[in-house]
Amino acid sequence: MRITPGMSADNAIYNLQQGRTAIDQLQEQIASGYNINRPSDDPLSTRQLLDLKEQIASGDQYSSNITKAETLLNVTNTSLTSMATLMQQVKKIAGDMVAGTLDAAGTASAVTNLTQLKSQLIDMGNTRLGDQYVFGGFSTSQPFSSTGVFSGTTDIPQVEIAPNSTVGTTVSGGDLLRGGNPPAAVGSGATAGQGPVDIIGSIDALISAIGSKNSQGILDGVKNVKAGADQITVAQSDVAGRLVRLDNMKSMIANNQNTLKTVFGDIQNVDYAKAGVVLSQQTTAFNAALSATSKLSQLSLLDYMK
pLDDT of residue 5: 59
Helices of type H across 195-271: 199-211, 215-268
Distance CA 231, CA 229 (A): 5
Peptide bond into 182 cis (omega under 30): yes
Select from 71, 117, 81 the least CA-distant residue to 235: 81
Q: Which of 147-156, 273-282, 297-306 has the highest mean pLDDT?
A: 147-156
pLDDT of residue 59: 96
3 state SS of 104: helix
Q: What is the DSSP letter of 299?
A: -
Select from 167, 74, 183 the least CA-distant residue to 127: 74
pLDDT of residue 121: 97
pLDDT of residue 296: 59
Q: Summarize the confidence of residues 61-82 as an average pLDDT.
A: 97
3 state SS of 44: helix
Distance CA 149, CA 163 (A): 37
Distance CA 27, CA 29 (A): 5
CB 196 within 8 A of CB 154: no
Distance CA 226, CA 303 (A): 113
pLDDT of residue 281: 75
Kind of pairing between the strands at 128-129 and 132-133: antiparallel
3 state SS of 150: strand
* pLDDT tens by residue, 186-236: 877 667 767 799 999 999 999 999 998 898 999 999 999 999 999 999 999
Q: Tell me if the pTM is above 0.75.
A: yes
Select from 141, 237, 239, 231 the least CA-distant residue to 184: 231
